[in-house]
Structure 1
Amino acid sequence: MLRSAGTIYREWGLRYLIAIGTEHFLIRTLADARSPSYWRRTESFHDRILDTDVSHYEHPKNPFALRYVDPAEIYQFSGRGSALWENAMYEIGTVQDGDWDIEPYQGPLEDKELEITFANALEETVLYRSMEEHFTNGVAWEDTQFVQRMCELIKESDTRAWHGSMTCEDVRERCAYLDSLYERIQTDGFLSQRELQQRGEEPPKDYLDTLRSEILVDIGRDGEFLMVDGRHRLSIAKILGVESIPVVVVVRHAQWMEKINSDPDAFASHPDLSAERDTPTRY
């Protein structure tokens, strides 16, 4: 049976940490954590030591590498589960069969926040429509359906909601952060987490933590990209018309793996395979 990165972590436990810790320490002493050398070494290191599902196929090479994708090609949410992002760090390189790629996203029916932030497609969410109203048409955050409904939810449930918000003021502060994020992307372009760390705009993180902070996607049976996490940044990229963004692929459908390995030349231009030869070195 093929094993995911998370399975390896759980099975090996302390033995895993000791076994790889020495090598990883040596890697980090050879180069600064924000240097290209560090990232090249750690990509190779994790791909080799974790024995992911993808590593049992010839293609794609290095499931931990960034893929550069047109934001317009990411619009549907992955149907794998209600909290796709929770274990994403340890599921990178996983291959799964089933109908999760063609089923609509199913969140817990009792979770009212998901009704505001999720739908079958990103552009159908209250969140995206409100962001588009604000950034494109200049509608004040307080007048958007998203903020109004989120504040109602907080008052009704008396619990933490969007990114830990406990009050409407917390929601407004988070919206202010989206304003600054929009301005940064508009001015500097859409940068990877590695680039942001190198510029000092994000604190240095461990390799897997950094990957977890990127936009996360799954790949369905026909090579379609399915949203896992990072919907705020993806929404901004779409609204600004950004042509290419870095993403990390978490789960790939088994049928997709069969297709690209039986005839890789037919899919050579797909970002999952083109990354093998021409992923931009942008860090």
Structure 2
Amino acid sequence: MIRGGDWDLKAKPFEESPKYRYISEFAERDCPPPERTEVVPEWGKSEQYLIEFERLYESIQTDGFQTQSELPDGGGVVNEINICIGRDGTMIVKHGYHRVAIAKVLELDAVPVYVRVRHEDWQRHRDEAWEADSVKQLSAETRRHISHPDIRQALDR
């Protein structure tokens, strides 16, 4: 889906999310914090919830990232990480926050995602990349985004 408007400007940086802050603290300590619920107190999650989050982290750290279809009780694409891409290429997580937080903390190179929405301004760059036969044909503005996965996909076809 392509959408205009200012929806992308309302997104907060992912690194400010409680999920990311909690799991980065957990990884930094390399063990559970003494008082789990006090790490990000405004999040208000139970001890059991945080233990399950830690287990997911340890599972991905040990076994690697798996798509939902690779998991024994996984689901389809709607259960994968869902993102929206803002006007400047910013990837905004809509579903799968825990897995994105873990992937970022583990510094994974890439994880599969389902793109729900692209901002119409971003789509122009993507269309340009899909229509180009080489990088030389790209505008300077689109060339600035050449390392973005959404643009790389078009150029690597």
Q: Same fold (TM over 0.5)?
A: yes
Question: Which of 18, 26, 44 in structure 2 is aligned with 1:126?
Answer: 18
1:247 is aligned to 113
Residue 194 to residue 275, structure 1, CA distance change in 2 (3 Å): farther
1:215 is aligned to 2:81: yes
Structure 2 runs not aligned, ≥5 long: 133-137
Matched, 1:140 2:34: yes
What is the CA–CA distance in structure 1 between the aligned matches of 2:60 and 2:98, rounded to whole Å?
12
Aligned length: 143
Residues 211 and 278 of structure 1: CA distance in aligned 2, closer, same or farther (over 3 Å): farther
Q: TM-score, normalised by structure 1?
A: 0.44
Please state if 1:271 is matched with 2:123. no
> 2:5 is matched by which residue type in structure 1?
G
2:58 alignment partner, one of 180, 183, 191: 183
Equivalent residue letter for 1:252: R
Taking the TM superposition and a 5 Å limit, the aligned residue runs for 1:98-247 are 98-101=5-8, 103-105=9-11, 120-137=12-29, 138=31, 139-142=33-36, 144-146=38-40, 148-151=41-44, 171-196=46-71, 200=72, 202-203=73-74, 205=75, 210-247=76-113
- How far residue 233 of structure 1 moved from its aligned partner, in angstroms, is 1.0
> Which residue of the partner structure matches residue 2 of structure 2?
95
1:194-240 superposed Cα distances (whole Å, 9 cap, x missing partner): 222xxx2x24x4xxxx2121111111223331222211111111111
Task: Check whether the contact 1:136–1:239 (CA below 8 A) recurs between aligned residues.
Answer: no
Q: Quote the Cα distance in structure 2 between the aligned partners of 1:228 and 1:142.
A: 25
Gaps (5+ residues) in structure 1? 1-93, 106-119, 152-161, 163-170
Amino acid at match of 2:38: T
List aligned pairs for 1:254-265, cutoff 5 A. 254-264=120-130, 265=132
Looking at structure 2, the residues matched to 189 and 218 of structure 1 have their Cα atoms a distance apart, in angstroms, of 24
Question: Percent identity over the alignment?
Answer: 33
Larger Rg: 1
Q: Which amino acid aligns with 2:81?
A: I
**Secondary structure in 1 matching 2:7:** coil
**8 A Cα contact 2:87 2:121, kept in partner:** yes
SS at 1:222 equivalent: coil
Distance 1:274 1:185 in 2: 26
SS in 1 for 2:93: strand
| TM-score (normalizing by structure 2) | 0.75
